[in-house]
Amino acid sequence: MPRVLVVDDERPIRDVIAEALRDSGYEVETAPNGAAALERLRRPADLVILDLMMPVMDATAFTQRLRLNPCCAEVPILLLTASYPAEAAAARLGATACLTKPFCLDELLDTVERTIGSPAA
């Protein structure tokens, strides 16, 4: 079962994404910021869904640390951001994909499936 780590400082957004992913069959773990997310990556995720701007440790600092860890260096990142242009922010981080907030859950689920496959596969 593909494992997804959802990192967002806004609990309602984190919870909605996690519930939608679980309902679709993915294993999900959540974190409120980059520092907490790094602690949860003792076992690598198949995908990190990452908010750009967060307190404690933002997406830039998290991604830099993530890429230094050999077991997580290639984990794809789906960047979530309200900033424009979202594609430029994603390119700066080396993210695999990006969505602009507010986003449609169907679009998020489609992006996850295109990135790591269906949990049923």
Percentage of the chain exceeding pLDDT 70: 99
Residue 97's CB is within 10 A of a number of other CB atoms, namely 19
Q: What is the mean pLDDT of the chain?
A: 92
Percentage of the chain exceeding pLDDT 90: 70
Strand order in the sheet with 3-7: 27-31, 3-7, 47-51, 77-81, 97-100
Please state, in angstroms and rounded to a whole number, the distance separating the CA atoms of residues 29 and 41. Answer: 10
The count of C-alpha atoms lying within 13 angstroms of the C-alpha of 92, restricted to the half-sphere facing its C-beta, is: 13
CATH class (in words) of the domain with range 3-116? alpha beta
Q: What is the pLDDT of residue 65?
A: 93
Q: What is the pLDDT of residue 121?
A: 61
Nearest to 1, CA basis, from 46, 39, 38: 46
Decide: 83 and 53 in contact? Cβ < 8 Å: yes
| Structure confidence by residue, pLDDT tens digits, 1-48 | 899 999 999 999 999 999 999 999 999 999 999 999 999 988 889 999
Q: Is 36 exposed, middle or buried (0-12, 13-18, 19+ CB in 10 A)?
A: middle
* Domain extent listing, the chain: 3-116
Pairing status of strand 97-100 against strand 77-81: parallel
